[in-house]
Amino acid sequence: MAMSIKQQGWPRWPIADEETLEQLRLVLESGRWAISGPYTGEPTREQQFAEQFAAYNGVRWCVTLDHGTSALIAALEALDIGAGDEVIVPGLTWVAPALAVISVNAVPVFADVERDTLCMDVHAVEQVMTKRTRAILAVHMYGNMTDMDAMQALAEKHGLYLIEDAAHSHGASWNGRMAGSLGHIGVFSMQQGKVLTCGEGGAAITDEDELKDRLEASAWNARTRIAPSEQLLFPMSLDEGMPRFGTNRCLSEFQAAVLLDQLPRLDRQNRMREAHAGWLDHQCSQIQGVQVMRKDPRIKQRTYYGYVLQLDPQECPISAHDLIAHLQQDLQMGDFLLHSAYKPLYRNPLFRPHPRRHAIGAAYMEALQRQSGPLANCEYAYANSIVFHHSILLADQAQLSRLVEALAFRITGK
């Protein structure tokens, strides 16, 4: 079966095969398509995945959800963050972290990023703290990491929660600990473009029992999981006794089956991405005006959601915008494979509070509007970065050489 055929010379993403299909068929035939379906004599796929993903990340608990955005909202709900609170988020990232904060009626406060990692800068976080700050929401941008020791120390010093958005970094590690396990709650997305995917999906991980219960309540309509030994008696798997707010953010058994199929492939794919990115770093940094991202030596396993290059506008005769357009042609890449960095959030048209739902007072709307930027490094990164999707790092050496040649030619004319 040709599910992994290459498109235009670049590896197809996501990668699935006969085995994936078999796992989906088994769910179809089992009659249990949802965690709230009838007991079939074995743990749900969802439960199996949650246990495997917790173990993979070296934490006690994983709660699965339907999206990464849901996982962010559930994390904020679990930490009782809401009206009157501020959460510090990076000024440049996907909109989900800021929208999740707005979803719980708290105010996202944007902090600038580091130019050479694109992750939120610890010093910038310190500068925007107020007495209303409750949490730091750090994103490991495109799989890179800032100084997480300093970020942890800062959160601890001020009594703040540290939430990690690890949607770009499944399988990364910092000083021997996995991305997502460094703060109070770590959040993942398993949307189609991510390095671990089931199309649409999410997860939140934590070491704390109480937070796990609250995350489950948020994810499962205020229900919690029944112990496996009791599942025969309560065939729906979920207990309705949780005294908290929650809504339905359940992952389906089909999605869990795909995740169970994909997780064992993750490390091998990440190692290949890391090796190829290392080679590209070496090649591309020799091209005049091209800068590669800095990697902290405490990142023991680096992952790549995007492979990022920056053009020094003083030294480069071509803008990042024009270079992207040329390379998309030269290398037969669409927008999915090559694009600019995220637009700074305060300028992003998607960052828009709902005029009724979030109109919880003039002071609140005013606080949101104050987040208008600009932040110098967010602007720099947006103007000067080019970002390749991680799947190109699974291409063969000949393909990657072609990429380096095209890049050098468009910049230097040679």
Ligand X SMILES: *Cc1c(COP(=O)(O)O)cnc(C)c1O
Q: Which is nearer to ligand X, 139 or 196 (CB)?
A: 139
- Sequence-distant (≥ 6) Cβ neighbours of residue 230 within 8 angstroms: none
Interface positions with ligand X (CB under 6 A):
67-69, 93-94, 96-97, 139, 165, 167-168, 189, 191, 202
Q: Least distance (Å) from ligand X to the CB of residue 11?
A: 20
Q: Which is nearer to ligand X, 67 or 410 (CB)?
A: 67
Q: Least distance (Å) from ligand X to the CB of residue 322?
A: 26
Q: Which is nearer to ligand X, 70 or 310 (CB)?
A: 70
Q: Least distance (Å) from ligand X to the CB of residue 281?
A: 22
Q: Least distance (Å) from ligand X to the CB of residue 54?
A: 19
Q: Least distance (Å) from ligand X to the CB of residue 235?
A: 30
Q: Which is nearer to ligand X, 14 or 68 (CB)?
A: 68
Q: Least distance (Å) from ligand X to the CB of residue 249?
A: 10
Q: Which is nearer to ligand X, 139 or 290 (CB)?
A: 139
Q: Which is nearer to ligand X, 46 or 165 (CB)?
A: 165
Give the residue at shortest CB distance from ligand X: 68
Taking Cα atoms as reference points, which of 220, 180, 201 lies closest to residue 67? 201
Q: Which is nearer to ligand X, 85 or 165 (CB)?
A: 165
Q: Least distance (Å) from ligand X to the CB of residue 171?
A: 15
